[in-house]
Amino acid sequence: MEHFSQFLLCITIHKISYTLMDYAPNGDLFEAVETKRIPFNERLVRSYFQQIVTGVEAIHSNGAAHLDLKLENILLDNEFNAKIADFDMCYFPEDRRIMSRGTQNYRAPEIIKGNCQNAQAADVYSLGVILFLLKTK
């Protein structure tokens, strides 16, 4: 998948699971935004946001939701393309209820309150936070 970090291997050692994903030589969007090593002009913000939205649409088209979308989980490949990573909080249709998942400042209010009925809508809220941070940092 074009907008996802490639999953390579998952192993469990002493009841702790480790996931190996492809290397992201340019770090993540959080680091890029905080260090200002990439000039985030309007065109670049739109490009990154479109890449992220395209990836989230693919997740949602399968009935799932990421539920931990944040700048730290958007990796940058060798060509500085955005790749969504860290799927351990994902919600799948067979899940009975939507637990309080994700990172505090990116979580939708209904996730925080514990009454979320639509995990995909919660992802859209997180996308809004990401866009806000890309535009204002």
pLDDT digits (tens, 9 = 90+) for 85-122: 988 888 888 876 767 778 889 999 998 888 888 999 99
Taking a C-beta distance cutoff of 8 angstroms, is the pair 40, 137 a contact? yes
Q: Mind telling me the catalytic residues?
A: 68
**CATH class entry, domain 7-136:** mainly alpha
Look at residue 1 in the predicted model and tell me its pLDDT.
Answer: 54
CA distance to 46, 62, 110, per residue, from 116 (Å): 29, 19, 5
The mean pLDDT value for 15-25 works out to 77
CA dihedral 130, 7, 59, 74 (to 10 degrees): 10
The mean pLDDT value for 10-35 works out to 84
pLDDT digits (tens, 9 = 90+) for 38-95: 889 999 999 999 999 999 999 999 899 999 999 999 999 999 999 999 888 888 888 7
Look at residue 104 in the predicted model and tell me its pLDDT.
Answer: 87
Look at residue 7 in the predicted model and tell me its pLDDT.
Answer: 62
**How many C-beta neighbours within 10 Å does residue 7 have?**
13
Look at residue 6 in the predicted model and tell me its pLDDT.
Answer: 64
Look at residue 128 in the predicted model and tell me its pLDDT.
Answer: 98
> What tokens were used for 98?
């939507």
The whole-model pTM stands at 0.86
Rg value, the chain, Cα: 15
